[in-house]
Chains A and B, each alone.
Chain A
């Protein structure tokens, strides 16, 4: 068996087509518009006085001294910086044909700092950085759980529009069960069960009966909304103290880490559900890319027939992974009732499942990137509350739009050409 052909074709090298770069002027144009906007906002409509940032501590972490900066001067410096970076981006594109992502990220960060300085200027109330970040993390929790569920489901080939319904069902059942039994732990279990049940509907219609997945997802969301509204008004409202008064999850500070200023209270003095979230992000990432489970899951989402021909049960793999996605999203739903609010109310998810879906796409079906996207959306959501509290000059109607504007800009403006799992949304029909 050593008779090799003497003319082995040297064709193992990848086909490398000559490449040219279609320069996309999108980034420099966007940066320039933002820079222009900054000049108008921060310099033309400049605000005087001082801006105060506070860095409050938590129950364990010490406070940092507050930072007082002159509003006008800081704004002028930062805006000049923004303008310079925008100008430099044109040169970068002309020279290297590409504006790196970190460059845009730094630009965005400076813009946010400038905006906060301006919004909290004029000797208004101090801007509490710790609570701004803490709130951002809190609001991100459902987004992150939702996005993880979306990533798993779509990677296995089923579009999960039903994230919204899974969140809402999780929130509802968690509240009811925790309230009836008095146990938050049983509440968490109930949330998982609720998410899985909703997933079963999606899985059954999408995988077994080949119904269009987007339509099934939307219908499920409407169904869950209707059901929870009905039970809320007809049942929960009649005996709220028994059915809708769940205990809240206790905070569990992690020794050591929770004593770090700012970061400690934001990340490490949280309830169990947030720690479960950290674990889930890591587990999903490692699982997807380094284990047999992930390899098989991705294979049925990319090329189900190929998976079938090597003996992988496509239908089963999809079914159980869609269910797993439902379990994760359901847990995220529990955060609404057991983690933050303390009772269920009608439509309390308010479309956050759709934002989680945007995070999946913005994060390019990667659990880590999707988590970062969800954090960005959470930050945008919380900014409105914080700014309203410090009394900023921006009208509150505009601030209400903020998370959605950021979502649209992020998905439409910065995602561009991305490639999702090849078979996502397509039912697998054996020929």
Chain B
């Protein structure tokens, strides 16, 4: 089925999220829509899928104008969508999720689960998926959950399939498999819309590329275009794709973690006997697919987790068992992975957010009263130093863009006298310009002799920043390898296996000597 969008316009108040977007997707082709976060890609797809009404413009399927009142109608017309945040109900089984909304039923609305199971098995067999129809979604790894999303769309006979940022949650191997699946679907005649901001993927799989920026289509590109060409089209100026940094000059071990175990409320070892060290002046990146214990590890370092065993030492002083306040006072800076949830108070002003973790003592507070004068001077200074784009220091942080919000967090943490910086997903959801900025500041912190831990699920980021890389899988550290290790190896480790290179790193995760030996060898 051929999909055509003509002049789609969508406004939210004064913001035009989509400005007269037109594009055509032919059956049997993979059409990439490339653009930064906030370029309007997801809005466009939500309009297409009937989740949002368009202010202007038409959607045509096989040259017939469509009017979708809701996703149900879009689906009936043959449009399927694999959402960025999976639209699956965690406590339902695969079969229940696939049948939801178009259930086959018997007498009095009784569910015919066998029918749904059969459908899941049929589609699984067709594409070589290995999905158990009776497994609960919450027990499945994200890669498999995504397949369930694909099965869900195909079970409704989707002829146009939209993938909205599908690779954000996958390991490199899973990403490669998804590409294979997309090609299979294309060869079967499905029209595929692939939304992404990752250049590598676009060049690998796209038949045609449309680039969006700030709500507009800024051009088409050929899959043979270079990364730099695509990036400058996407951002609107030439950008540095790699961070300029000197080789690390690691000093003495500053942070030492030995046998760290974190137990969650249902008794799972979310972090399982993890040991590592970070030297002053080096960046240890913690790579891994999301949900393999990175969050809990960083929270345990900060004292936010309840059941923690093992030892954490910073410059020889124990951190484990201290309150969050004391951990902060010991010089730990923390950039949380969800800045809206844990990093900032959205309703507070920039100035207030900048003093959040120092609200108990001088110079911000004296004798129980806020030192407003000092706060304003401090905030003005930091806003200019960290290039926060804002009207005033009294603007509520919630109204800033993601990049500027993250700069506020960064400014707050880096303006303290740090002995350790823990940055969890520091560039998630940021535009390319802000990513550059954040990366530069992190490298600067390293060069000033601070040990840095960066948790990231993006291999590009790991590659750009890491001096050493620890890969986490199911709560444990699979291994620690030098920075610059190739994607292939990291991908294998992210799936929990040791790379099969006999000379490569195969450290015993509980053997500190083995690890440092590896480091020397490979460097």
Is A77 close to B, CB under 8 A? Answer: no
B234 to chain A, nearest CB (A): 24
Is A3 close to B, CB under 8 A? Answer: yes
Distance between Cα atoms of A306 and B180 in the complex (Å): 26
Residues of A participating in the B interface, judged by any CB pair closer than 8 Å: 1, 3-5, 7-12, 14-15, 17-22, 290-293, 295-296, 298-299, 302-303, 305-313, 417, 422, 430
Q: Which of B25-33, B138-146, B207-215, B444-452 contacts A (4 or more CB under 8 A)?
A: B138-146
Whether A295 contacts B90 by the Cβ 8 Å rule is no
Whether A4 contacts B89 by the Cβ 8 Å rule is no
Whether A5 contacts B180 by the Cβ 8 Å rule is yes
Whether A303 contacts B49 by the Cβ 8 Å rule is no
- Which residues of B sit under 8 angstroms from A417, Cβ to Cβ? 265-266
Distance between Cα atoms of A310 and B75 in the complex (Å): 8
Distance between Cα atoms of A307 and B51 in the complex (Å): 12
Complex interface bits, B81-101 against A, C-beta within 8 A gives 1, otherwise 0: 101001111111000100111
- Which residues of B sit under 8 angstroms from A9, Cβ to Cβ? 143, 173-174, 177, 495
Q: Which of A5, A19, A299 contacts B267 (CB 8 A)?
A: A19
Distance between Cα atoms of A10 and B92 in the complex (Å): 22
Most buried by A among B89, B110, B180: B89
- Which residues of B sit under 8 angstroms from A307, Cβ to Cβ? 89, 100-101
Interface magnitude class on chain B? 35 or more
Whether A311 contacts B73 by the Cβ 8 Å rule is yes
6 more CB-based (< 8 A) A-B contacts, given A20-B268, A309-B51? A11-B144, A18-B475, A21-B267, A22-B267, A309-B81, A313-B70
Which residues in window 121-136 of B have CB below 8 A to A? 126-132, 135-136
- Which residues of A sit under 8 angstroms from B144, Cβ to Cβ? 11-12
Is B435 close to A, CB under 8 A? Answer: no
A388 to chain B, nearest CB (A): 43
- Which residues of B sit under 8 angstroms from A305, Cβ to Cβ? 87
Mostly, the A contact residues are loop
Whether B475 contacts A12 by the Cβ 8 Å rule is no
A349 to chain B, nearest CB (A): 33
Whether B75 contacts A311 by the Cβ 8 Å rule is yes
Contacts A291-B109, A292-B109, A292-B111; A309 near B267 (Cβ below 8 A): no
- Which residues of A sit under 8 angstroms from B396, Cβ to Cβ? none
Whether A310 contacts B87 by the Cβ 8 Å rule is yes
Contacts A8-B128, A291-B105; A306 near B87 (Cβ below 8 A): yes
Complex interface bits, B172-204 against A, C-beta within 8 A gives 1, otherwise 0: 011001001000100110000000000000000
Distance between Cα atoms of A303 and B267 in the complex (Å): 26
Whether A310 contacts B90 by the Cβ 8 Å rule is no
Whether B475 contacts A17 by the Cβ 8 Å rule is yes
Distance between Cα atoms of A133 and B269 in the complex (Å): 47
Whether A311 contacts B475 by the Cβ 8 Å rule is no
Whether B71 contacts A17 by the Cβ 8 Å rule is no
- Which residues of A sit under 8 angstroms from B184, Cβ to Cβ? 1, 3
Complex interface bits, B43-82 against A, C-beta within 8 A gives 1, otherwise 0: 0000001010000000000000000001111011000010
10 closest A-B pairs by beta carbon, nearest first, are A311-B72, A4-B128, A310-B101, A14-B139, A306-B87, A12-B130, A291-B109, A17-B268, A292-B109, A309-B87
Is B103 close to A, CB under 8 A? Answer: yes
- Which residues of B sit under 8 angstroms from A303, Cβ to Cβ? 87-90
Distance between Cα atoms of A311 and B76 in the complex (Å): 9
B329 to chain A, nearest CB (A): 30
A187 to chain B, nearest CB (A): 29
Closest to A312 in B: B101
Contacts A295-B111, A308-B71; A302 near B101 (Cβ below 8 A): no
Q: Which of A5, A302, A310, A313 contacts B177 (CB 8 A)?
A: A5
Is B102 close to A, CB under 8 A? Answer: yes
Whether A309 contacts B110 by the Cβ 8 Å rule is no
- Which residues of B sit under 8 angstroms from A310, Cβ to Cβ? 71-72, 75, 87, 100-102, 152
- Which residues of A sit under 8 angstroms from B92, Cβ to Cβ? 295, 298-299, 302
- Which residues of B sit under 8 angstroms from A313, Cβ to Cβ? 70
Contacts A4-B128, A310-B71, A311-B75; A22 near B263 (Cβ below 8 A): yes
Distance between Cα atoms of A5 and B128 in the complex (Å): 7
Q: What are 8 inter-chain pairs, A to B, with CB distance below 8 A? A: A17-B269, A19-B267, A22-B263, A298-B89, A303-B87, A306-B88, A309-B49, A310-B101
Whether B75 contacts A291 by the Cβ 8 Å rule is no
- Which residues of A sit under 8 angstroms from B268, Cβ to Cβ? 17-20
Distance between Cα atoms of A9 and B175 in the complex (Å): 11
Whether A299 contacts B128 by the Cβ 8 Å rule is no
